[in-house]
Chains A and B, each alone.
Chain A
């Protein structure tokens, strides 16, 4: 398996533009997590899905952020409109959680977003 795939790896955009980050989880995993990494706040959980259903989006900073998981092999994180303070590295991770069994989370390479 290729692991968790994220695209793009780098994104530079102007304030006000829409940004879409993409993630393909590891095949067979049923949970997907979106994280944001900043110097100030470290690694923050934004939202996670279980069996394609959003379970907890309390970490999403504001309405400008939205995430979808239309099927088990694809998820998007969208920021519209983007602002300079959204500049960060965004990680996607996937895992297998089933009853009392929990696997570790496998992280993608991250997308470095710069909003000017």
Chain B
């Protein structure tokens, strides 16, 4: 799986959009971009994933650049409960066995 690079930490004001970047310059054609988050020491929670088109669900939006070398997770109206570590993961579509390889993630702090 391709390696990802994320900032170690970010702050965001409550009610504002949180934009979390991720670089994956070595991504290959069959690799998807996944985002998970981990609140305190709870189990990681799936947020969203995509291949090359932008994606949106009830939690977030995922913007993938045209060359697919980077992406941005957008939480449109961050709340205090969105404070968590956010992991950007690139996983091959045919990676049947090794489920997910987690990096260091971005620690997002949402402040009042």
- B and A form one assembly: no
A interface vs B, CB < 8 Å? none
B interface vs A, CB < 8 Å? none
